[in-house]
Structure 1
């Protein structure tokens, strides 16, 4: 016999977040494909690595829901929307998605606190740390991209250098992977 250790609202919120992580993976996949088609090889590689990272997040939610004895509900993933129109647009959209994602994660944390579900509260701490690091990484990249796209920039090769740098840049900073 399986005990359901999650309340119905918390199970729904976790399932919704699992779907959101799958949607984010699809967004990264679409944008990585766009970057590749536009010959931004470094940016494409960087975004393709994020696809796998988001899929892993999705699986963490799935496994947690199962461990707690609740039902996993797999839903259709919404389309990622139109392709970016520029590198800046690409990363602006990604940053917006990251900000939306952290608000959803905070909502689950708040719900787990209200229900005194300390196991879920503890589980979600890892995602808070991840999202904070993601936002910082995206803000740093946006600053570099804005410098690269600045028409008054003295160096015409800045966009090329950024693309080249992202070939080796991990999805998350090396200090994060422990």
Structure 2
């Protein structure tokens, strides 16, 4: 009798490769956010540090979700190498500019993977990636909104902006 639990629709090689590259990208994002948190901590931006520590954990979670998906599909999930990331930044604003750049790069990557899934008729993986699309909309919105706040707060009030980051949430409609 066949072991039906071992029968799976295999993940196409192109999709597996793309997902493993995305795992690495998510782990690099986690590392970058951790570096941003450390810079904020060293420079007295306590709430921003907390914000970026949370972002770092969230990005690692995104990588793990993809890692588990590949394993569950019987594919090979690869533990990625993470290159060194910048540890120093010029200003708090430059930290948030870097965060937005990273989120845009992640969004572009997710969109490319969806295109691969469509080419390969991999509807299961595309369905999984719908969650990432929504997540990226939120991530980019928050980063953009934080940068907008820099334009609204006088330079001598930058620590007020830092304090406001303790209240950052996104519920799909409102940035509070």
- Equivalent of 2:123, from 115, 118, 125? 118
Residue 3 of structure 2: aligned partner: none
Residue 143 of structure 1: aligned partner: 148
Matches of 1:137 and 1:62, distance apart in 2: 26
Provide runs of 4+ in structure 1 moved above 6 Å.
none
Kindly provide the CA deviation profile for residues 112-151 of structure 1, in whole angstroms up to 9, marking residues without a partner as x: 0111110011000000010011111111100112333x55
Number of aligned positions between the proteins: 168
Cα offset for 1:163? Answer: 0.8
Residue 168 of structure 1: aligned partner: 167
Residue 60 of structure 1: aligned partner: 65
Kindly provide the CA deviation profile for residues 148-176 of structure 1, in whole angstroms up to 9, marking residues without a partner as x: 3x55xxxx32x121111112324xx2458
Superposition CA RMSD, Å: 1.6
Q: Secondary structure at the match of 1:75?
A: coil
Is 1:74 the counterpart of 2:79? The answer is yes
Q: TM-score, normalised by structure 2?
A: 0.89
Residue 38 of structure 1: aligned partner: 43
Q: Secondary structure at the match of 1:72?
A: coil
Is 1:9 the counterpart of 2:6? The answer is no
Give structure 1 stretches of 5+ with no counterpart. none
Cα offset for 1:2? Answer: 5.7
Residue 94 of structure 1: aligned partner: 99
Give structure 2 stretches of 5+ with no counterpart. 1-5
